[in-house]
């Protein structure tokens, strides 16, 4: 039985569609009434675990799922022992430093030393500011990070930016990009080593499908 | 201007009602179309910050809000420097150890040493198992913790239990309680020390209201 960890939310629809093209039908997770967290595919040889974005790496790293789909941002933040297999291309966004649009800061290095920075991604933010040799006080928040600068609690934020609308709506502007992120197919390293071809076939089908849709083949 | 940090979700309605009785009307945060994160009260002397449960202690500890309402479970997990002012009584639940109902474990001390335990509240879980002198491997999850035992990844979970329905629906049973939790009114210690009576009046009104509704006066 192959188990695939899928992230609830923005990546789910595209994730299901990629696995469908590789012969695994998890479309019932998309039904609005679905409350199940473990969903079998009709073919009987696979099941999906429906978990939070941040939990996908845990289930794959511990081997409860052999494969998973998760944003590169989460992989960078968590640093779990996973094999990154395919860049799936969807879920595009970037991790950025943003400030109030009247702050006058034009790049991250302009921020005052020891200022506060709010983020859900404090590991990513820490390594970025360490790289700049700019000491900052990171404030870990779990949501609505834009309230940090709005309330005056922090000078800046480090957060994911997709369309930029949330920033604009809240009077913020991105001044520097940390990295670009897309959804990734990841695998459990041990499961991949023990694989007798079943996982490889799925991975290859997903990889080929991605290349086809990008016109690379 | 008084700023109050309110947690989105299950505690919101009761929180708004308690402040209303103390003369601060934040009822517009309950309107279904509300997307604002900072909501002024009509009286003009206060505003509410609408944040995630886990972020309430951050805004209050940093002084961006002088008062906040948050579950005791979050206070225990985060250990931020806050003044606990009033036990508001609502949002009742308890933190518990739960296992599969066919596992045979009757109390936490029955769990095998070095077994895995999944939780969103890993600090609470760590201090509980340390107290038992039972070494366990904690697996931090951000949601749907019940999948830990269901998938075989962990032997047990430590999670909040309100009605117990989620446990029952997933074939789990609570075997030991860590602590009881209710919503608490918390305050920023410095703001309370500098207060010229304005905060005290609100706190007293909320405290008295709580006693009245419990028939203690």
> Residues A158, A56: one domain?
no
Whether B6 contacts chain A with CB within 8 A: no
- Bridge partners (DSSP) of residue B6 are B50, B69
Residue A212: pLDDT above 80? no
- The answer to whether residues B7 and B70 belong to one domain is yes
Better pLDDT: A82 or A211: A82
Mutation site, B2, B53, B62, interface A, largest A CB count within 10 A: B62
| Strands B183-187, B83-87: pairing kind | antiparallel
pLDDT range class, residue B33, cuts 50, 70, 90? confident
Residue B217 bridge partners (DSSP): none
Same domain, A157 and A123: yes
Residue of B64, B142, B152 with shortest CB distance to A52: B142
Residues A120 and A74 in one domain: no
B165 lies in the same domain as B206: no
A27 touches chain B (CB under 8 A): no
pLDDT at B29 over 50: yes
The answer on B58 and B28 residing in a single domain is: yes
> Chain-wide mean pLDDT for chain B?
94
Clarify whether residues B73 and B124 are in a common domain.
no
> B156 versus B35: which is more confidently predicted?
B156
Contact: A141, B62; criterion CB under 8 Å:
no
Residues 6+ apart with CB under 8 A from B22: B201, B202, B205, B206, B209
Same domain, A102 and A55: no
pLDDT of the residue at A217: 45
Shared domain for A102 and A86, answered yes or no, is no
Question: The domain that contains B209 carries what CATH number?
Answer: 3.40.190.10
Which residue matches tokens 């094999």?
Answer: A83
Please tell me whether residues A106 and A150 are part of one structural domain.
Answer: yes
pTM, full prediction: 0.92
Residue B146's domain comprises 93-181
Q: What is the ipTM metric for this complex?
A: 0.90
Contacts of B140 in chain A (CB under 8 A): 58
How many angstroms separate the CA atoms of A75 and A72, rounded? 5
- Check: CB of residue A159 under 8 Å from CB of residue A142: no
pLDDT for B35: 78
Token pair belonging to B151: 């998938």
Strand partners, B151: none
With cut-offs at 50, 70 and 90, classify the pLDDT of residue A32. Answer: confident
Scanning A62-101, the segments in alpha helix (DSSP H) are 72-78
A204 with A151, same domain: the answer is no
The structural domain count of chain A equals: 2
Claim to verify: residue A61 and residue A11 sit in the same structural domain = yes
In contact, B167 and B173? CB cutoff 8 Å: yes
């Amino acid at each position: 039985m192959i188990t695939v960890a899928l992230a609830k939310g923005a990546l789910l629809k595209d994730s299901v569609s990629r696995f469908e093209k590789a012969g695994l039908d998890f479309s019932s997770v998309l039904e609005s009434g679905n409350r199940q967290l473990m969903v079998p595919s009709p073919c009987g040889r696979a099941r999906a675990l429906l978990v939070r974005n941040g939990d996908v790496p845990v289930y794959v790293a511990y081997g409860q799922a052999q494969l998973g789909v998760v944003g590169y941002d989460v992989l960078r933040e968590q640093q779990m022992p996973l094999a990154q297999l395919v860049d799936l291309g969807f879920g595009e966004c970037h991790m950025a430093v943003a400030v109030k649009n009247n702050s006058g800061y034009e790049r991250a290095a302009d921020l005052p030393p020891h200022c506060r920075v709010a983020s859900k991604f404090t590991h990513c933010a820490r390594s970025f500011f360490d790289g700049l040799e700019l000491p900052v006080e990171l404030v870990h928040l779990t949501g609505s990070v834009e309230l940090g600068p709005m309330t005056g609690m922090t000078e800046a934020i480090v957060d994911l930016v997709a369309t930029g609308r949330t920033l604009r709506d809240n009077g913020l502007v991105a001044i520097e990009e940390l990295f670009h992120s897309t959804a990734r197919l990841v695998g459990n390293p041990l499961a991949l080593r023990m694989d007798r071809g079943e996982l490889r076939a799925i991975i290859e089908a997903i990889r080929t499908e991605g290349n086809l849709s990008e016109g690379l083949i």
